[in-house]
Structure 1
Amino acid sequence: MKSQDNAKSEAVRSSKKEHSLYKEIDFLLILKTLWHEKITVLVVTGLFAVAAVLYVNTVEETWTSKAKVLPPLLYDYADLQKQTAKLLPAFETAENAANTRFENPFTALLESKELLKNFIYEFNSLDNKKEFLSNNETFKKYVNEHNNSSSSTKELQTWSNKFSAAQERNEKNVYNLAFESFDSTTSTDLLNKYIEFTNKKVIQKTELNIDSLISQKRAELDYSIKLLQTQIQSKLETEKKRTQLALQVAEAAGINTPINTIAQQNDEIFSIHIGSKALSEKYKILSKLDLDDLNIFEPRIKEYTAKITMLDNYSRDTDASFKTYRFMNEVSQPLYKDSPKRGLIVLIATLFGIVVSIFIALLKRFLTVYLKKNR
């Protein structure tokens, strides 16, 4: 029984030695095959390396300039605040003048977060990007040097997509601005210029909104004046008719001069107690009144007219400027390009070339042995 167990264990040890020997033989065979096909390995690997070098030296580089912006502070747009403050009296009424919580109609337009929101919206606007690039000399030069006129539209779309503004993660009112270009100087220059271009766009639209509020208020005041004038004219026509009738009654009663009686103090429908002479003069005066005289009867007409004059005389200070954003990190010139990563690309291509060359060498060996066996 023991002799049988010894025989089995001996057989197992012998099998393991043979398996280890086969492994060693296979590994040595692979090394010999690769050495024999070393020219193939070197050529294929070299081709991959050379192709990688040619690629990284011909592909266009990309450099990305970045900036980080926040909502502007009050002093960043103080000039516009001062200008709109001059208009506030024209927006006050008798009711809200007494109210200490008078709502400034320009607050919503000039709120710092709203200004930044508008800035980001305009920055990401595709139409604004295209307008900016279409008038930019750097872009025009690039198109002329690298493309024909038929592909300029495609380049315009491509370059437009290189501008981006995205919210900082976990920061509600912080945004990252970026632009990608073929060199660091161009990337920095165009991002700075586009930020300035976008700021001007926001300023223009903010001023248009202010003009819209002014026009709306002016139309409201103009309508109020016309309404008051119509009401007063109607009252004056009624008063003229009453005066005319009173004059007829006074003349019929022979009352030429004012009289003072208890009955007349209480007065009836017609004020005949002042006499026909006074009534006649009153009628003449009422007949001569024109629109400019109506504010005698309604002071609000003069007040509203003054407000309209204030709105009409409003003019923006062309020298004033303001920012709709504030830099947290200003635009800086990138020190390193984003792509291509030359060293990494060449290394990966070389390693891939080695793998392919080994495969080719072993395939050649296999085909050689196979053909010999089948002869």
Structure 2
Amino acid sequence: MPFSGVHVSQPQPPTQHSTEQATVHPHYYYPQQQEDEIDLRELFAALWQGKWIIIACTLVCTVLAIVYALIAKEQWSSTAKIAQPQVSDYSEYQNQVMQFQPIFDVYQDDGTVLVSNALQGLTQANSLYRLFIDEFNSSSNKKAFLETSPVFQKDKDLLDDSSNEDSVRKLYYDWYKLLSIKPEDAKQLNSTYVMTASAETSQDSFDMLKSYIQFIDEKVHRKVINNLVATISSKENELHQQSIMLTKQAQQRLIVEKERSEYALTIAQAAGVTKPLQNFGDKELFAINLGSDALKAKVEALSKVKNLSVIEPRLEQLNSKLEQIEKLKINDGIRFSAYSYLEQPEKMVFRDKPKRAVITFFGLLLGGGIGIVFVMCRFVFTRKK
């Protein structure tokens, strides 16, 4: 019996899927391309569309690079190669030094000679070579040379404010680096060295290198001669002091010996001893055993002594050395070299900088890179919009 207001749903049979519906297999599924992924074909197409931008950037950067390479300050270098001096390079100087060798040697009473090595350091090839290298590297020498160099003065006149000490100091520092001497092999400090001078033109660098080498040669020459003069002068003062000391000692010995002889003469005359005594001791304070006649002659002889070398034989050797120093003169006009040339100063065929071909090539690469990056960025932003 049906109830009013109540709807009773009838059970429905289960819905059957049509056997004709197609079954979707996994290998027929293709994932859709994400929106933020870039197709290479689109990218190359965008680059092709922006080719004129890339070409324009490349041309602009290349032209700017060429202009810079043409107007940039040029630098040319001249070089020379040196090694330790041979004996023939400083033989004159060595001969002059060795003539003073006897003054430094010690002559002993038994005839042997003790050879002094005080002068050896002045004539060693290595010492002369190191002196030249040190003088070449000296900043004070470089500054003194640059102050007389017309090439440097021309550059100094171009300073905006020549009264600015910092600017002038920086200019000097930059030029110091243009005058250099470096070992060809960093591990062999006494081997071959390469001297380099750089300037705006090949001729200027060549002239500067030759002038600076000559400038340093003169410095080394003066210093070597001054060292020799100082060494000889020091030895001369030493000999003078020894001579003064030995002279005073000889004078005192002469006075003492004369007084002893006078006392002995007085005693001998009082004792009536006129002739030498054979069996009288000779170790007495007053040698009366000589007899008054001999003592009188001795006193007269001591009174006439003028050459104190008779009393102190070493004075003769000292005086001989001092006389030799007076006779030997140091010739400061001798010529010698503290190095030996392996390669004379030469002009460079190619400049150091600017490397115009390299600058132009990098300008081309930079321009192309800037153009490509710009086109790619524009493509990415346009695609996102």
What TM-score, normalized to structure 1?
Answer: 0.82
| Mapped pair 1:27 → 2:40 | no
Kept in 2: contact 1:96–1:102 (CA 8 A): no
Deviation at 1:50, TM superposition (A): 2.6
Alignment-derived partner of residue 79 in structure 1: 92
| Mapped pair 1:220 → 2:238 | yes
Kept in 1: contact 2:265–2:296 (CA 8 A): yes
> Residue type of the partner of 1:91?
F
Structure 1 distance, partners of 2:327, 2:342, is: 38
> Residue type of the partner of 1:136?
S
Deviation at 1:354, TM superposition (A): 1.9
> Where in structure 1 are there 5+ consecutive unaligned residues?
none
Deviation at 1:22, TM superposition (A): 4.6
| Mapped pair 1:208 → 2:226 | yes
Task: Specify which structure has the higher proportion of helix.
Answer: 1
Deviation at 1:213, TM superposition (A): 2.2
| Mapped pair 1:111 → 2:128 | no
- Worse-superposed segment, 114-123 or 209-218: 209-218
Kept in 2: contact 1:130–1:157 (CA 8 A): no
RMSD: 3.3
| Mapped pair 1:325 → 2:312 | no
Which aligned pairs between 1:254-333 and structure 2 lie closer than 5 A? Answer: 254=272, 258-263=274-279, 268-272=284-288, 276=292, 279-280=295-296, 282-287=298-303, 289-290=305-306, 293-333=307-347
Deviation at 1:298, TM superposition (A): 2.6
Q: Deviations over 1:103-132 (max 9, x none)?
A: 443222211122112211111111111112
Alignment-derived partner of residue 174 in structure 2: 158
| Mapped pair 1:182 → 2:195 | no
Q: Deviations over 1:2-28 (max 9, x none)?
A: xx999655657x989xxxx95434422
Alignment-derived partner of residue 252 in structure 2: 234
Structure 2 distance, partners of 1:315, 1:137, is: 38
Kept in 1: contact 2:277–2:290 (CA 8 A): no
How has the CA–CA distance of structure 1 residues 222 and 23 changed in structure 2, closer, same or farther, with 3 Å as cutoff? closer
Structure 1 distance, partners of 2:301, 2:47, is: 125
Deviation at 1:235, TM superposition (A): 1.8
Structure 2 distance, partners of 1:50, 1:353, is: 10
Structure 2 distance, partners of 1:8, 1:299, is: 126
Kept in 1: contact 2:74–2:353 (CA 8 A): yes
SS of 1:340's equivalent in the other structure is coil
Alignment-derived partner of residue 135 in structure 1: 148
Structure 1 distance, partners of 2:58, 2:111, is: 88
Matched residues, percent identical? 28
Deviation at 1:248, TM superposition (A): 2.2
How has the CA–CA distance of structure 1 residues 275 and 47 changed in structure 2, closer, same or farther, with 3 Å as cutoff? same
- Worse-superposed segment, 22-31 or 341-350: 22-31
Deviation at 1:276, TM superposition (A): 4.9
Which aligned pairs between 1:12-91 and structure 2 lie closer than 5 A? Answer: 22-32=39-49, 34-35=50-51, 38=52, 40-91=53-104
Q: Deviations over 1:159-218 (max 9, x none)?
A: 112222222225452222222222211112212222222222222222222223212322
Structure 1 distance, partners of 2:368, 2:110, is: 85
Kept in 1: contact 2:239–2:322 (CA 8 A): yes
Deviation at 1:349, TM superposition (A): 1.3
Structure 1 distance, partners of 2:23, 2:225, is: 102
SS of 1:60's equivalent in the other structure is coil
Q: For the pair shown, which has the larger CA radius of gyration, 1 or 2?
A: 2
> Residue type of the partner of 1:349?
G
Kept in 1: contact 2:275–2:294 (CA 8 A): no
- Worse-superposed segment, 231-240 or 276-285: 276-285
What TM-score, normalized to structure 2?
Answer: 0.80
How has the CA–CA distance of structure 1 residues 285 and 262 changed in structure 2, closer, same or farther, with 3 Å as cutoff? closer
How has the CA–CA distance of structure 1 residues 330 and 101 changed in structure 2, closer, same or farther, with 3 Å as cutoff? farther
Kept in 1: contact 2:79–2:194 (CA 8 A): yes
Structure 1 distance, partners of 2:84, 2:155, is: 34
> Residue type of the partner of 1:28?
A
Aligned residues: 356
How has the CA–CA distance of structure 1 residues 6 and 177 changed in structure 2, closer, same or farther, with 3 Å as cutoff? farther
Deviation at 1:268, TM superposition (A): 4.9
Structure 2 distance, partners of 1:267, 1:327, is: 72
> Where in structure 2 are there 5+ consecutive unaligned residues?
1-21
